[in-house]
């Protein structure tokens, strides 16, 4: 299905995302993402488990803090022969 918020009129994107805070992070320079991760209350990961781990950006790399939540969405789980597919 088409995503009107990404490819549609700019005003529609602005209306749908009013009041939200957005960040753009360059994965070639992960220091900015590490700072964002340190400040975040919620982390949502939907890449292969090894992808962020190779960059030192997994849940174990986020400073522990009461109330912090890390959500990991994978196609094949995090353990077993298909974990890094």
Please tell me the distance from the alpha carbon of residue 23 to that of residue 25, in angstroms, as a whole number: 6
Q: Identify whether 9 is part of a domain.
A: no
Please give the tally of structural domains in the chain.
1
Is residue 7 assigned to a domain?
no
In a domain, 59, yes or no: yes
64, 57, 67: which is closest to 35 by C-alpha?
57
Residue 13: inside a domain: no
19 is a domain residue: no
Within-domain flag for 37? yes
pLDDT tens-digit readout, 7-61: 778 888 888 889 988 777 787 887 888 888 888 888 888 877 677 778 877 788 8
Query: What's the domain range around 69?
Result: 24-85
Residue 36 placed within a domain: yes
- State the pLDDT at residue 12: 85
On whether residue 18 sits in a domain, the answer given is no
């Amino acid at each position: 299905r088409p995503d009107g918020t990404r490819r549609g009129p700019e005003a529609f994107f602005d209306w749908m995302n009013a009041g939200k805070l957005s960040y753009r992070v360059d994965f070639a320079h992960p220091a900015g993402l590490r700072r964002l991760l340190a400040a975040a209350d919620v982390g949502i990961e939907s890449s292969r488990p090894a992808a962020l781990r190779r960059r030192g950006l997994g849940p174990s790399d986020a400073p522990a803090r009461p109330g912090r939540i890390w959500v990991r969405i994978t196609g094949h789980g995090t353990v077993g022969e298909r974990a890094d597919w």
